[in-house]
Amino acid sequence: MSSNTAHSPTVSRLLVIALAVAVLGSVVVASVGVAAAQEDEAETEIRVVHAVPDAPAVDVYVDDELVFADIDFGEESDYEAAATGTQTVTVTPANDSETVVFEEEVDIEGQATVAVGGELAEEDIVALASADDAEPADNESAVRLAHLAPDAPAVDVTVAETGDVLFDAVEFGNATDYETVPAGEYTLEVRNATDDDDGDVVGTVDVTVEEGDAYTAVATGYLDTEEAPVDEPFTVEIYEDQTAEESE
């Protein structure tokens, strides 16, 4: 008598089904793994603003990759691709990768402006990563403030023409959310912060904001240039941002 047992048609079908399920499961697991990897590697666009008054031109690395090169004080970079999530941002003098003046993990969750400010002499450098997610309505503009002037106190920002308070008690090393204003021309007054938003005006800036556009105002430089390491007086620089709609 032969010891071989013939498979019945039912058993054969069950084996085929089991094999198909196993293969399909492998495909699903592989697809989930690829999707997760793609999510981890999702890219956005960021730019850098150099607002450290006593620093030379700088290079900026994101996770050890040189992304922005030779940016002078007061300049902004173009938007460049970068991975989303927590990234290590490193700032060095231009063409001197061995001298690190700032290195910190920064959360980048979408299109963003990374404004680097503070004071090199005091080793007090900060980087503010602010999402460029403004969606101004028709006839409106969006404006926000980054306070990076190292010797300036907390500030209020008022509109000279109306007295309206645009930003209230913004401290060094902080950035506000966007505020919307009608498109047009304005004089903004930067004041020492007070409860009534009527402190001494320490600087003014004339701005023209266009319909549908967004802007970052960066306070930088020194109120007291006589005691400062460099002669860079307090100023507010205006940079045009990409809007959420432009990034789509």
**Number of structural domains in the chain:** 2
Rounded Cα–Cα distance for residues 94 and 69 (Å): 7
pLDDT band with cut points at 50, 70 and 90 for residue 41: low
122 and 82 in a common domain: yes
Residues 10 and 30 placed together within one structural domain of the fold: yes
Could you give the CA distance from residue 45 to residue 63 in angstroms, rounded to a whole number? 15
Q: Is 21's pLDDT higher than 90?
A: no
Confidence (pLDDT) at 245 = 78
Percent of the chain with pLDDT over 90: 77
Residues 35 and 144 in one domain: no
Among residues of the chain, what percentage have pLDDT more than 70? 83
pLDDT band at 66 (very low <50, low <70, confident <90, very high): very high
Please check whether residues 153 and 206 belong to one and the same domain. yes
pLDDT for position 182: 96
* Low-confidence winner among 14-23, 50-59, 94-103 (lowest mean pLDDT): 14-23
Examine the domain organization and report whether 121 and 12 are in the same domain: no
Query: 115 pLDDT band (50/70/90 cuts)?
Result: very high
Tokens 């966007």: give the residue: 178
Query: What's residue 248's pLDDT?
Result: 65
Asked whether residue 34 falls in the same domain as residue 48, the answer is no
Q: Are residues 85 and 187 in the same domain?
A: yes
Do residues 96 and 18 share a domain?
A: no
CA distances, 111 to each of 81, 117, 121, 142 (Å): 9, 20, 31, 16
Whether 29 and 58 map to the same domain: the answer is: no
Range of 29's domain? Answer: 1-41
Looking at residue 20, its pLDDT comes to 39
Please give the Cα distance from 215 to 218 (Å, whole number): 10
DSSP string, 131-172: E------TTEEEEEEEE--TT---EEEEETTT--EEEEEEPT
Same-domain pairing of 148 and 185: yes
Q: Are residues 180 and 88 both part of a single domain?
A: yes
Q: What pLDDT, on the 0 to 100 scale, is given for residue 29?
A: 41
From 79, 71, 49, 109, select the one nearest 242 (Cα to Cα). Answer: 79
Same domain, 88 and 147: yes
Q: What is the pLDDT of residues 70-111, one digit of tens each?
A: 999 999 999 999 998 999 999 999 999 999 999 999 998 889
